[in-house]
């Protein structure tokens, strides 16, 4: 495995034009050796382009790609020593599972004993020993996807395993199992796994670090906890979490206070030198509490609707024409109409022109 | 609800079907049980006498059938191999790709009978340009009057005429293939031969089977090429089943007997194509 560096990488589909339209705007990034990453974003945000640049399927119009310090930008896919798992399982249908796993080594002229040893090791790690002699085309979609992954793992020279929405065709119950297996594989082989998805649950449960993209730009890189608690932009706040983060337009009302909808809320963000045209307060529905008494950071609200979502309830409330979502435990008693909502200062994020104010 | 009135709506279609399909087949069956010919043009009933004659006293039909099998299987195989090769060439980005795609389709756009007349002129043993060129090497093959070579000539014309059809179907198939298996093979380090054997060919198997069966059905009806090029000759060297049925029916006017020949031929073909399709699936769609 290798450390992967993307230096000023960008991709435009009209590089000769004076006004270039970027599918991927210039950016720098380093993928640490053995890391588990997820690239998350809506359809068309450039995540697959980024993956294809790393695998060599797409040549970037700008910048350099380095594997362990070696420039591989101009190298072909087969010369880059990467493995890729596609959205739909790719197996060699005329071969057995064993032959499928051995194929990359056969193509590289490995000796038979070395091939057998590696195939058996990977088959054991992926739980495919019982299926080795079976025809690959007869397996289920998740087993086929494991074979695709296995073909990447049998090679010792693989710099990274790239996965492009690999669980799209997998049943929901098997997705969980497969994700766990991927994590175990990462821990066992210390392989750099880069996982592209538009499903935030997949990204958050799989990766150590998540790269959130929007419209060809990287908007935030962080751990799932950071993305959830401190989204760097309002887009991340909307995109991560279900329901999306609550955002309220507001005005500065002191060094640490904001005013919105007739309410004053104290935050832990210093707002003294802020000169933004538009301010927003963001808070996750999980952090808002329904309280009986009026406090420093409470606001009055009217309960509009309560939805039972199984393990929790989603309360839709209105405060001075502002819609607020509150997520509470399913056993929490919800007052009939008028409530007070507590917005803890430590969970309040302030956004100036859609960007998180950090100090 | 009562849906009996639906039959009223089906009736026009059923009547057309009856007129154009069921009636001709039914009439042919009835005709095959008669001795209707130019001397006795009547729908009498002679039982299975025509069929007994076919199976016991007509070696010429079976020889024609053997010849047809040889011609159709060989030409379709060649069409498949050449068509696949050409499709693979213009599938990738090459210079003048569009020009070649159209060029390879030209033979299929020409009228078979007219092109066969041109081929006959090419291969004319004393006046044709082919032997004119070969005469410089002291060669003068009997393209049309040698028992062996005349079959070969028919094959050349058939392959030339119909390879574009195979090319078209296979190119359409190649263009519709997903790109991921090819990327995966490239990532796995497979070269062009391994990629063809393990990716392209297996993925193309269903399309290939369809194309081969369509061409086999067409090739088994070969008539115009033989009629114009050799008229079944020399002797019966290039006579195929359909040409033999044509001779019996429309030259000798043995309508009853030719109906029996047609039905027998039809049944043999249905059985043959069912078996061939199964064999092709077994051979080409390995692993499934």
pLDDT tens per residue, range A298-342:
999 999 999 988 889 999 999 888 899 999 988 888 877 788 999
- Residue B238's Cα: distance from chain center in Å? 15
Which residue of A55, A75, A77, A115 to mutate against B (max B Cβ within 10 Å)?
A77
- In the predicted structure, residue A238 carries a pLDDT above the cut 90: yes
CA distance B103 to A4: 47
- In the predicted structure, residue A287 carries a pLDDT above the cut 60: yes
A118 and A182 housed in the same domain: yes
ipTM: 0.77
Q: What is the DSSP letter of A13?
A: S
CB-based contact (8 Å) between A84 and chain B? yes
A73 and A171 housed in the same domain: yes
- In the predicted structure, residue A223 carries a pLDDT above the cut 90: yes
Q: How crowded is the C-beta side of A91, counted as CA atoms within 13 Å?
A: 28
Residue A86 is nearest to which of B180, B198, B288, comparing CB atoms? B180
pLDDT of residue A138: 87
pLDDT of residue A276: 67
A53 and A189 housed in the same domain: yes
- Report the SS3 class of residue A10: strand
pLDDT of residue A33: 87
A273 and A206 housed in the same domain: no
Percent of chain B past pLDDT 70, that is, above it, reads: 99
Q: What is the DSSP letter of A272?
A: T
Average pLDDT for residues B146-153, to the nearest whole number?
Answer: 94
CA distance A336 to A306: 10
Average pLDDT for residues A190-216, to the nearest whole number?
Answer: 89
pLDDT digits (tens, 9 = 90+) for B43-99: 899 999 999 999 999 999 999 999 999 999 999 999 999 999 999 999 987 888 888
pLDDT of residue A155: 87
- In the predicted structure, residue A113 carries a pLDDT above the cut 90: yes
The nearest CA of chain B is from the CA of A80 a distance in Å of 8
CB-based contact (8 Å) between B283 and chain A? no
The nearest CA of chain B is from the CA of A352 a distance in Å of 43
Instruction: Note if the pTM is more than 0.90.
Output: no
Is A148–B202 a contact, with Cβ atoms under 8 angstroms apart?
no
Q: Is residue A316 part of a domain?
A: yes
B99-108 long-range contacts (CB < 8 A, ≥24 apart) are B101/B171, B104/B163, B104/B164, B104/B167, B105/B164, B105/B167, B105/B168, B106/B164, B107/B160, B107/B161, B107/B162, B107/B163, B107/B164, B108/B161, B108/B162, B108/B164, B108/B165, B108/B168
Q: What is the DSSP letter of B193?
A: H
Average pLDDT for residues A149-159, to the nearest whole number?
Answer: 86
Between the alpha carbon of residue B267 and those of residues A133, B183, B270, B274, the distances in Å are: 42, 46, 5, 11
Q: Is residue A279 part of a domain?
A: yes
A60 and A188 housed in the same domain: yes
pLDDT of residue A1: 64
- CB neighbour class for B151 (10 Å; exposed up to 12, middle 13-18, buried from 19): middle
Average pLDDT for residues B172-192, to the nearest whole number?
Answer: 92
Judge contact between B144 and B238, C-beta under 8 A.
no
Domain that holds residue B111: 60-284
Which of A84, A11, A90 has the alpha carbon at shortest distance from A50? A11
Is A103–B190 a contact, with Cβ atoms under 8 angstroms apart?
yes
Q: Is residue A241 part of a domain?
A: no
A82 and A194 housed in the same domain: yes
Q: How confident is the model at residue B288 (pLDDT cuts 50, 70, 90)?
A: very low
Residues 6+ apart with CB under 8 A from B192: none
A189 and A131 housed in the same domain: yes
CATH of the domain at A340: 2.40.50.140
pLDDT of residue B1: 63
Q: How confident is the model at residue A169 (pLDDT cuts 50, 70, 90)?
A: confident
CA distance B15 to A325: 66
The nearest CA of chain B is from the CA of A293 a distance in Å of 60
Location of structure tokens 């692993």: B287
A48 and A84 housed in the same domain: yes
Q: Is residue B37 part of a domain?
A: no
pLDDT digits (tens, 9 = 90+) for B214-251: 999 999 999 889 999 999 889 899 999 999 999 999 99
Residue A93 is nearest to which of B183, B194, B287, comparing CB atoms? B287
- Number of domains present in the structure of chain B: 1
Judge contact between A71 and A63, C-beta under 8 A.
no
pLDDT of residue B174: 96
Which residue of B182, B186, B189 to mutate against A (max A Cβ within 10 Å)?
B189
Which residues of B fall within a CB distance of 8 Å from A83?
187
Q: Is residue B266 part of a domain?
A: yes
pLDDT of residue B167: 95
Q: How confident is the model at residue B286 (pLDDT cuts 50, 70, 90)?
A: low
- Number of domains present in the structure of chain A: 2
CA distance B89 to B85: 6
pLDDT of residue A228: 93
CA distance A338 to A47: 45
Average pLDDT for residues A220-240, to the nearest whole number?
Answer: 93
The nearest CA of chain A is from the CA of B82 a distance in Å of 24
CATH of the domain at B67: 1.10.3720.10
Closest chain B residue to the Cα of A154, Cα to Cα: B188
Domain boundary among A208, A235, A262: A235
CB-based contact (8 Å) between A77 and chain B? yes
Q: Is residue A240 part of a domain?
A: no
A226 and A255 housed in the same domain: no
- In the predicted structure, residue B2 carries a pLDDT above the cut 80: no
pLDDT of residue A254: 84
Percent of chain B past pLDDT 90, that is, above it, reads: 73
Q: Is residue B49 part of a domain?
A: no
Strands A62-67 and A70-71 come out as antiparallel
Is B184–A148 a contact, with Cβ atoms under 8 angstroms apart?
yes
A20 and A87 housed in the same domain: yes
- In the predicted structure, residue A3 carries a pLDDT above the cut 60: yes
Average pLDDT for residues B7-33, to the nearest whole number?
Answer: 91
pLDDT digits (tens, 9 = 90+) for A8-53: 999 988 877 777 788 899 999 998 888 899 999 998 898 889 998 9
The nearest CA of chain B is from the CA of A163 a distance in Å of 12
Go through A190-208 and write b for each residue having 16 or more CB atoms within 10 A of its CB, e for each that does not: ebbbbbbbbebebbbebbe
Question: For all residues of chain A together, what is the average pLDDT?
Answer: 88
Domain boundary among A185, A208, A235: A235
Domain that holds residue A104: 4-235
Q: Is residue B237 part of a domain?
A: yes
Q: Is residue B48 part of a domain?
A: no
Please provide the distance, in angstroms rounded to a whole number, between the alpha carbons at the two ends of chain B: 45
CATH of the domain at A128: 3.40.50.300
Domain boundary among A204, A235, A266: A235
**Where would I find the H helices in A23-95?**
47-55
- In the predicted structure, residue A356 carries a pLDDT above the cut 90: yes
């Amino acid at each position: 495995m290798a450390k992967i560096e993307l230096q000023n990488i960008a991709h435009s589909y009209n590089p000769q034009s004076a006004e270039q339209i970027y599918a991927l705007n210039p950016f720098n990034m380093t993928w640490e050796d053995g890391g588990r990453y997820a690239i998350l974003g809506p359809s068309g945000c450039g995540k697959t382009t980024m993956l294809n640049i790393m695998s060599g399927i797409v040549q970037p119009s700008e910048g350099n790609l380095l594997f362990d310090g070696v420039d591989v930008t101009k190298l072909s896919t087969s010369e880059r020593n990467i493995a890729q798992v596609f959205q739909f399982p790719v197996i060699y249908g005329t071969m057995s599972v064993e032959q499928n796993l051995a194929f990359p080594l056969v193509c590289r002229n490995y000796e038979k004993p070395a091939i057998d040893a590696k195939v058996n090791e990977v088959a054991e790690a992926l739980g495919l020993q019982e299926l080795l002699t079976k025809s690959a085309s007869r397996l289920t979609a998740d087993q086929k996807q494991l074979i695709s992954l296995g073909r990447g793992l049998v090679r010792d020279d693989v710099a990274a395993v790239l996965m492009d929405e690999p669980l799209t065709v997998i049943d929901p119950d098997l997705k969980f199992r497969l994700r766990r297996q991927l994590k175990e594989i990462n821990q066992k082989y210390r392989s750099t796994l880069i996982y592209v998805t538009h499903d935030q649950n997949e990204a958050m449960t799989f990766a150590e670090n998540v790269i959130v993209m929007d419209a060809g730009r990287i908007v935030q890189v962080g751990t799932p906890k950071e993305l959830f608690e401190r989204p760097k932009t309002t887009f991340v706040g909307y995109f991560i979490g279900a329901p999306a983060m609550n955002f309220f337009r507001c005005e500065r009302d002191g060094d640490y206070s904001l005013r919105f909808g007739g309410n004053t809320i104290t935050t832990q963000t210093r707002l003294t030198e802020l000169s933004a045209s538009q301010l927003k307060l963001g808070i996750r529905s999980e952090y808002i509490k329904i309280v009986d008494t009026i406090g420093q950071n409470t606001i009055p609200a009217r309960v509009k609707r309560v939805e039972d979502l199984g393990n929790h309830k989603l309360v839709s409330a209105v405060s001075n024409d502002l819609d607020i979502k509150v997520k509470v435990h399913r056993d929490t008693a919800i007052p009939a109409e008028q409530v007070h909502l507590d917005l803890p200062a430590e969970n309040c994020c302030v956004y100036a022109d859609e960007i998180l104010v950090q100090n | 609800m009562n849906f009996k009135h639906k039959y009223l709506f089906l009736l026009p279609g059923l009547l057309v079907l009856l007129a154009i399909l069921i009636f001709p087949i039914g009439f042919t069956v009835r005709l095959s049980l008669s001795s209707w010919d130019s001397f006795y043009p009547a729908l009498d009933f002679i039982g299975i006498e025509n069929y007994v004659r076919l199976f016991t006293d007509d070696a010429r039909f079976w020889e024609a059938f053997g010849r047809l099998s040889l011609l159709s299987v060989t030409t379709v195989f060649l069409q498949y191999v050449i068509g696949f090769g050409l499709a693979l060439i213009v599938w990738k980005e090459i210079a003048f790709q569009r020009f070649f795609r159209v060029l390879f389709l030209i033979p299929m756009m020409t009228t078979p009978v007219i092109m066969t007349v041109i081929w006959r002129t090419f291969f004319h043993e004393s006046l044709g340009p082919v032997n004119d060129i070969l005469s410089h090497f002291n060669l003068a093959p009997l393209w049309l009057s040698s028992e062996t070579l005349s079959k070969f000539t028919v094959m050349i014309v058939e392959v030339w005429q119909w390879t574009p059809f195979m090319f078209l179907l296979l190119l359409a198939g190649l263009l519709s293939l997903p790109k991921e298996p090819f990327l995966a093979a490239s990532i796995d380090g497979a070269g062009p031969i391994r990629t063809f054997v393990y990716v392209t060919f297996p993925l193309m198997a269903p399309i290939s089977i369809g194309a081969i069966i369509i061409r086999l059905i067409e090739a088994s009806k070969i008539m115009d090429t033989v009629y114009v090029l050799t008229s079944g000759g020399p002797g019966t060297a290039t006579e195929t089943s359909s040409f033999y049925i044509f001779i019996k029916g429309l030259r000798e006017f043995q309508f009853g007997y030719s109906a029996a020949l047609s039905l027998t031929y039809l049944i043999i073909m249905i059985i043959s194509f069912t078996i061939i399709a199964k064999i092709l699936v077994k051979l080409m769609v390995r692993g499934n």
